Amino acid sequence: MTSPFFSSRTLGRFGLGLGLACAVAVSSPILLHEMASPAHAAEEDSKAGKVSPEIGKPLQAAQAAIKERKFSEALVRLKEADAVATKSPYEIGILEQLRLIAAIGAEEPAVAAKAYDVLANAGGLAPAQKLQFIQAIANADYKIKDYGATATWVNRYFQAGGNDLAMHTLLSQTYYLNNDFVNAAKATSDTIDAYEHAGTQPPETLYQLLTSCAVKQNDKKAYAAALEKLVAAYPKPEYWADLVHQVAAKPGFPDRLSLDVYRLQFAIGALTTAAQYMEFAELAIQAGLPAEAKAVVDKGYQAGVLGSGAEAERHGRLRDMAKRSTDADQPTLASAEAEANKKPDGTALVNTGLDFYGYGQYDKAAALIQAGIAKGNVKNPDDAKLHLGIVLLAAGNKAKALEAFKSIKSGDAVNDLARLWIIKITGHAAS
């Protein structure tokens, strides 16, 4: 059943987007070349010891099969070597090393794991070889969809000192495919941190995976936090639209902030329908901000969203209304400012500042809103700070806008909107 706060579009986007690459191919030619070469001791004496003719023959046959990538055949030959009753530690080392390579190539990671443990316990592997084989075993387990074993071996890889970013990614995906969404979310967050620590941009798919983990757990708070990270890293309009929706759809979201939701959508380019432009403009007119309404309608016409279709006539009526209201309002701006200055509180100054904002007089608008906040007793003071940030940003003063947004500490819907503006300005998820 779909969660009440996740749309079907959200599930479609984040529930299935798991094209995360596994970086280490099993039976890599380099791996075979580097690790199979010690078995050449099956043909001649070695400083480490000798290989008896009895065991040398199947070892040679196994090595030849590996070179031809006939890994299952190599495992059969190695079983013949197992049948030799007496083997020196040196011969056992060669046998298990070949078995490890053949088992990885044959996609029998359980056999490879046993061979690895024999070699590792005997001290027969250098640190770099350990990492290489652990990585190959993990990927072999993943390929046969043994996700529990995959996670075990990836964690062993990190315990051995490995830090390949692809292995971080593999662990995230492995937990997810094993339906362990708690560990998948943690591993994915750690993977994102690892990429950032390495100075590399985390892939978009990691953020999608993080949001999908929240969907799977029906965790609204985690979903919103993950979506903020996704938007900050990859600010696509569709991601922004989902994020704004999450904020506006919260229970108890106040109607008075509906106009501010549209302001944010307008700024991020998320207004796409005639209905959105129309409602935005109508809300602005109702708030006594006709110039802002006119600007919105004009933008809708410029974008080709308004002025066509079955409701083109209605669009025209709204445009005419916005123009008439603006023509009547503009001559009163000076008197409205004077009257606002006479008020005992700052609410009227803030509102007048927003009116100037609609006319594109951003510096004047900011000064009036700041004066209103300083006068005090403003109705919804955090709203005033939000509007100050919006106006300052429109004026091109990002630093001051950030200060205004960050000064909002209420923790309610206003704070949510301010946090989204901060993401827009900085490109980073706000704390």
Main-chain dihedrals φ then ψ at residue 46, nearest 5 degrees? -130, 155
Q: Enumerate residues 6+ apart whose C-beta is below 8 A from 44.
A: none
pLDDT for residue 290? 98
In this predicted structure, the answer to whether residue 252 has a pLDDT above a threshold of 70 is: yes
Amino acid at 262: Y
| pLDDT tens for each residue of 367-406 | 999 999 999 999 999 999 999 999 999 999 999 999 999 9
pLDDT for residue 431? 57
Q: What CATH number labels 29-163?
A: 1.25.40
Closest C-alpha to 55, from 65, 42, 64 = 42
In this predicted structure, the answer to whether residue 30 has a pLDDT above a threshold of 80 is: no
Cα angle vertex 413, ends 287, 8, to 5°? 100
- By CB neighbour count within 10 A (0-12 exposed, 13-18 middle, 19+ buried), where does 419 fall? buried
pLDDT band of residue 430 (cuts 50, 70, 90) is low
Residue range(s) in the chain whose domain bears CATH number 1.25.40: 29-163
pLDDT for residue 22? 31
- What burial letters (b/e) apply to 219-238, b meaning 16+ CB within 10 Å? bbebbbbbbbbbbbbeeeee
- What burial letters (b/e) apply to 31-54, b meaning 16+ CB within 10 Å? bbeebbebbebbeeeeeeeebeee
The DSSP secondary-structure symbol of 255 reads G
| pLDDT tens for each residue of 266-277 | 999 889 999 999
pLDDT band of residue 205 (cuts 50, 70, 90) is very high
pLDDT for residue 175? 98
Please report, for residues 14, 381, 386, the alpha-carbon distance to residue 410 in angstroms, rounded to integers and kept in the order given.
31, 10, 11
CA distance between the termini of the chain: 32
Measured CA to CA, the distance from residue 203 to residue 357 in angstroms comes to: 39
Which residue has tokens 């316990």?
121
pLDDT for residue 23? 30
- Written as six digits, the tokens of 316 are 């025209």
Measured CA to CA, the distance from residue 104 to residue 373 in angstroms comes to: 69
In this predicted structure, the answer to whether residue 9 has a pLDDT above a threshold of 70 is: no
Question: What mean pLDDT is predicted for residues 209-237?
Answer: 95
Q: Please give the share of the chain, as a percent, with pLDDT higher than 90.
A: 76
Which secondary structure element, helix H or strand E, spans residue 299, and what is its range? helix 290-302
Q: Say if pTM beats, i.e. exceeds, 0.85.
A: no
pLDDT band of residue 49 (cuts 50, 70, 90) is low
Measured CA to CA, the distance from residue 387 to residue 257 in angstroms comes to: 11
Measured CA to CA, the distance from residue 298 to residue 301 in angstroms comes to: 5
| pLDDT tens for each residue of 273-310 | 999 999 999 999 999 999 999 999 999 999 999 999 99
Handedness of CA 128, 129, 130, 135 (dihedral sign): positive
- By CB neighbour count within 10 A (0-12 exposed, 13-18 middle, 19+ buried), where does 121 fall? exposed
In this predicted structure, the answer to whether residue 256 has a pLDDT above a threshold of 60 is: yes
Please report, for residues 20, 172, 273, the alpha-carbon distance to residue 205 in angstroms, rounded to integers and kept in the order given.
7, 11, 28
Query: How high is the mean pLDDT of the chain?
Result: 88
The DSSP secondary-structure symbol of 46 reads B
How many helices (H) and strands (E) would you count in the chain?
Answer: 23, 0
pLDDT for residue 119? 87
In this predicted structure, the answer to whether residue 29 has a pLDDT above a threshold of 70 is: no
Handedness of CA 44, 47, 53, 55 (dihedral sign): negative
- CA-based radius of gyration for the chain: 33
Give the three-state DSSP class for 49. Answer: strand
Please report, for residues 126, 150, 222, 327, the alpha-carbon distance to residue 170 in angstroms, rounded to integers and kept in the order given.
24, 9, 22, 62
